[in-house]
Each structure stands twice: as C-alpha cells, then as structure tokens.
C-alpha cells in the first residue's frame, strides 16, 4: 500500500547504511526510489543536488542544513524517535567493532584477552 500512496498516515523506518547525513536526506528527493511519501520540492531537490556536488565538507553540511528547512516546514515525514542499542562487554573482550552509524556490533574480529 505504501508504494501506491494509499494511506493517510503510516509508520516507516530507516537505518543509516553509511556514515553521512545524506543517507537520510537524499531519501526525499522528488521521485526518488526511497521516497514513499509522494512529496516533492524543487528547492529541496536542488539543495540535495548541490550538497552531493560540494567538495568542501563545511559548505556541504551548511547546504544540507538549508535542505532540512523545506523538509521540516512541509513535513511529509514526522521524525518521532531513533533506534539505540546498549552494548555491554566484559573488559576481557576486545576487537568488537561498533559502527558509529549502525546499531549492530560486529564480532568478526573479537577475541578474549587472557
């Protein structure tokens, strides 16, 4: 039903798949494959395109902040919460990787100290 936009309100979730704000922001460009809102805004689209082309990290962040304004003013989405995970490990455990953008600990390289 979501893909046909046959809803008044729905709940959806997204987890970052790379460590950059664009993992969330580019979801809402007009006609984007992950934009399941039906929303479109030319100013937003233009700012996202500019941010994607901007090589200066500080300028890029400023452009992404400007893009958030029409998104939050028109509110095709309502951010209500974000996922968190607590990870407890004994001091003997080392080599566990916890990505800064994900909620899953990676134990592939883990070991126990003697």
Q: Both 62 and 42 in a single domain?
A: yes
Q: Both 64 and 93 in a single domain?
A: no
pLDDT at 100: 77
Within the chain, strands assigned E span 93-94, 111-112
pLDDT at 95: 94
C-alpha to C-alpha distance for 92 and 112, rounded to whole angstroms: 5
b/e for 39-68, b at 16 or more Cβ within 10 A? bebeebbebbeebeeeeeeeebeebbeebe
Question: Is 112 inside a domain boundary?
Answer: yes
Q: Both 14 and 70 in a single domain?
A: yes
Q: Both 66 and 94 in a single domain?
A: no
pLDDT at 87: 78
pLDDT at 10: 84
Q: Are 53 and 34 in contact (CB under 8 A)?
A: no
Residue 26: how many other CB atoms lie within 10 Å: 19
Split into its structural domains, the chain has a count of 2
pLDDT at 40: 96
C-alpha distance from residue 48 to each of 25, 54, 64, 86, 101 (Å): 7, 10, 7, 33, 20
Question: Is 79 inside a domain boundary?
Answer: no
Q: Both 56 and 104 in a single domain?
A: no
Q: Both 65 and 99 in a single domain?
A: no
pLDDT at 106: 87
Q: Both 68 and 40 in a single domain?
A: yes
Q: Both 54 and 105 in a single domain?
A: no
Q: Which domain holds residue 59?
A: 2-74
10-residue mean pLDDT series, the chain (114 residues)? 77 83 94 92 98 98 97 92 80 89 82 92
pLDDT at 12: 84
Write the DSSP symbol of residue 87.
-
pLDDT at 102: 65
Q: Both 59 and 90 in a single domain?
A: no
pLDDT at 103: 62
Q: Both 30 and 52 in a single domain?
A: yes
């Amino acid at each position: 039903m979501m893909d046909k936009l046959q809803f008044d309100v729905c709940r959806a979730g997204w987890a970052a798949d790379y460590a950059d704000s664009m993992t969330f922001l580019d979801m809402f460009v007009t006609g984007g494959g992950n934009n399941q809102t039906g929303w479109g805004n030319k100013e937003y689209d233009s700012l996202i395109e500019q941010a994607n082309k901007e090589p200066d990290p500080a300028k890029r962040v400023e452009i992404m902040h400007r893009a958030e304004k029409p998104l939050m003013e028109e509110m095709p989405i309502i951010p209500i919460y974000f996922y968190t995970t607590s990870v407890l490990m004994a001091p003997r455990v080392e080599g566990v990787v916890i990505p800064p953008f994900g909620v899953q600990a990676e134990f592939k390289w883990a070991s126990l100290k003697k």
